[in-house]
Amino acid sequence: MSAISEEQILDALAGVMDGDTNIVAKGMVSGLQIKDGHVAFAIEVDAERGPQMEPLRKQAEKTVHDLDGVLSATVVLTAEASSANSAPVHNQDQHDHHPAGTGPDAIMMPGVKSIVAVASGKGGVGKSTTSVNLALALAVDGHKVGILDADIYGPSIPRMLGVTGEPSSSDGTTLDPMEAHGVKCMSMGFLIEEETPVIWRGPMAQTALQQMMRDINWGDLDILVVDMPPGTGDVQLTMAQQVPLTGAVIVSTPQDIALADARRGLNMFRKVDVPVFGIVENMSYFACPHCGERSEIFSHGGAKAEAELLSVDFLGDIPLAIEIRETSDGGHPIVLSNPDSEHAKAYRAIAAEVWGKTQKALEKGEAEAPRIVVQ
């Protein structure tokens, strides 16, 4: 199969018309990215026309997908509303009170029994490392597990799981997830070059995430772990409002500034009626590998105190350890590479807590499908 070029794609899209002019001539195509036969781009439209442009989006997607050399095509609509005509923006206290994943745009994932999102109020607290080790710990315990890398702008799950290559499609419509260490996984990192920045506006990132949720053939899973992007922006709200989440776990480091951000993340999930399973304190302390002396570099116990203050459970703490970093960077996380270590046992204990809370939530009927775990 020959490699597809940007010129070939644009030539094909010149046959997709918006009124009397094609979408390429109108400058509507943006953010075009190609990796090993996987193509992604946005179609920029006026905000007022957005709801009517879905047929055009589907036509553009099919046009590119049918080209020789294209394995998959991901096309999203993005718009910038004018200040005069745009609808008022809802602030965090004015959200529509649909329980998670029950609104008009709800995303259903047949076969996925529960969804847990791992999230953080800020970056750099070890969210992805916790997500991966949590997923692997659940798999080691015998559960059917998937992990979705929802960090569109900074995907890191492929490297942490040691997965290379690109997903294929067995039915020509949906993508089959990659698999590593017995865990199914999907990430934007499989569709773009590792060093290629994703320069997308919020609406484009939202739509890309929606397609990653809808168009992946996950099969039967006991639990899907979602590695959330840091913060409380568009992508996080898309997940919290459109996906029927079973629960959320918040992970933070012990220092005050990280806890303040974690508090905002926790409150976001509460506002959209997603149960918060608890808080994990990452980088809780450092134990010298040579002498064993313990140092509390980022303070200690702040997440536990915050959990008590916010009336949520404290799920456990994870130390700052060189081995955790080295095994994650090397694609063999510590839960697998050194399962008898104290660090691996800590992750497995947290995974057991999350699994128990997930089952209780499902038994109570609090979710028809999965929810989120937050770091």
For residues 26 and 160, state if they share a domain.
Answer: no
Q: What is the pLDDT of residue 197?
A: 57
| Average pLDDT over every residue of 252-277 | 79
Lowest mean pLDDT of 83-87, 143-147, 309-313, 352-356, name the range.
Answer: 83-87
Task: Give a yes or no: residue 89 inside a domain.
Answer: no
Is pLDDT above 80 for 208? no
Task: Give a yes or no: residue 296 inside a domain.
Answer: yes
The domain that contains 180 carries what CATH number? Answer: 3.40.50.300
Task: Give a yes or no: residue 371 inside a domain.
Answer: no
335 lies in which domain range? 115-363
Q: In the structure, what pLDDT confidence band is assigned to residue 155 with cuts at 50, 70 and 90? A: confident
User: How far is the C-alpha of 200 from the C-alpha of 203, rounded, in Å?
Assistant: 8
Task: Give a yes or no: residue 293 inside a domain.
Answer: yes
For residues 66 and 204, state if they share a domain.
Answer: no
Give the predicted TM-score (pTM) of the model: 0.70
Q: What is the pLDDT of residue 129?
A: 93
Task: Give a yes or no: residue 129 inside a domain.
Answer: yes
For residues 123 and 75, state if they share a domain.
Answer: no
Q: In the structure, what pLDDT confidence band is assigned to residue 143 with cuts at 50, 70 and 90? A: very high
For residues 156 and 250, state if they share a domain.
Answer: yes
Lowest mean pLDDT of 219-233, 250-264, 267-281, 331-345, name the range.
Answer: 250-264
Task: Give a yes or no: residue 21 inside a domain.
Answer: yes
Sequence-ordered strand ranges (E) for 102-161: 115-119, 145-149
For residues 42 and 129, state if they share a domain.
Answer: no
Q: What is the pLDDT of residue 360?
A: 92
Lowest mean pLDDT of 6-20, 90-104, 141-155, 218-232, name the range.
Answer: 90-104
CB atoms within 10 A of CB 88: 6
The domain that contains 63 carries what CATH number? Answer: 3.30.300.130
Q: Which residues of 176-202 are buried (b: 16+ CB within 10 A; e: fewer)?
A: bbbebbebbbbbbbbbbeeeeebebbe
Task: Give a yes or no: residue 104 inside a domain.
Answer: no
Task: Give a yes or no: residue 208 inside a domain.
Answer: yes
Q: What is the pLDDT of residue 13?
A: 95
Q: What is the pLDDT of residue 369?
A: 45
Domain tally, the chain? 2
For residues 57 and 128, state if they share a domain.
Answer: no
Domain-terminating residue out of 61, 80, 99: 80
For residues 63 and 143, state if they share a domain.
Answer: no
Contact, 214 vs 248, CB < 8 A?
A: no
